[in-house]
Chains A and B, each alone.
Chain A
Amino acid sequence: MREQLLAQGGTPLPMPDRVMDWMSILRVVGAALGTSIVIPIGAGVLTGIFAFVLGDAGGYRQYLAVTAHSFFIPALVGLFIMPLKIATQDPLLTLNLGNFFFFLPSGYWLSVLTAMDLTQIWSSLVIAQGAHCIDRRRSFTSAAVILLSLMFAMALIIGRFMPS
């Protein structure tokens, strides 16, 4: 009914407060669950890359510990930039590489740079340091290059789907 009304160009019916409250609770629980799922998956990917593919020492629990701790960075910085989001009225605001390339015309490359979040880069460097500590043969530089290349590859894909 709500969709029909919107399709006809009418104003949507206001959602009841109870529904809004439930949506808010679901979002909060979803964020907690999402984080609890993303971190072990990320650790699994790191174990796959460093331990299985590249032959480093170290097990899943070590990479999980490093990933879980490195996640503090986007989680806390995200809270700190909340006042900036409120001031700019932009809930999707992030600190990203695109902020430094404001002179670029909007398009694919600006979208790629925008997809590269600074807190994620910081977090990746902490994980690279962790990979170096887990296996001393793995240098920090090589781990950082591997992780940042992966991030860049992801940004190249995400940039395709971001509105310019």
Chain B
Amino acid sequence: MDQVGQESYGKERADSIDLVTIPGIHRRFLDTFFSPAKMNAYLAAEPRWVMALVLSAALMSLQVALSHQRFGKAS
């Protein structure tokens, strides 16, 4: 590919990234299971991690709380 072609490809790519609207955490949560390619494309364009970290930590805590409630005396 020549220099001009590379530049136009780069500009096109940058424009497409600008147009990406990052969906909310609920949509990204669903996309992780049902459409990981789409979710990862969003994240590569704009890495958002805080809410995902908080939600993962909350889910793990809930798992431990339920497990402790049920098996707490045994463990």
Instruction: Kindly identify which residue among A61, A79, A86 contacts B47, using a CB–CB cutoff of 8 Å.
Output: A61
Chain A residues whose C-beta falls within 8 Å of the C-beta of B28 in the assembled complex? 69
Complex CA distance for A31 and B72, rounded to whole angstroms: 15
Report whether over half of chain A's contact residues are helix, strand or loop; otherwise say mixed.
Answer: helix
In this complex, the interface size class of chain B, counting residues with CB under 8 Å from chain A, is 35 or more
Given contacts A66-B43, A68-B49, contact A78 B32 (CB under 8 A): no
In chain B, positions 12-61 with a C-beta closer than 8 Å to chain A are 28-29, 32-33, 36-37, 39-41, 43-44, 47-49, 52-53, 55-61
B residues contacting A by CB (< 8 A) are 28-29, 32-33, 36-37, 39-41, 43-44, 47-49, 52-53, 55-72, 74-75
With contacts A30-B64, A85-B67 known, what are 5 further pairs, Cβ within 8 A? A28-B61, A35-B56, A65-B52, A78-B63, A129-B37
A residues contacting B by CB (< 8 A) are 20, 23-24, 27-36, 39-40, 58-59, 61-62, 64-66, 68-73, 75-76, 78-79, 82, 85-86, 91, 125-126, 129-130, 132-134
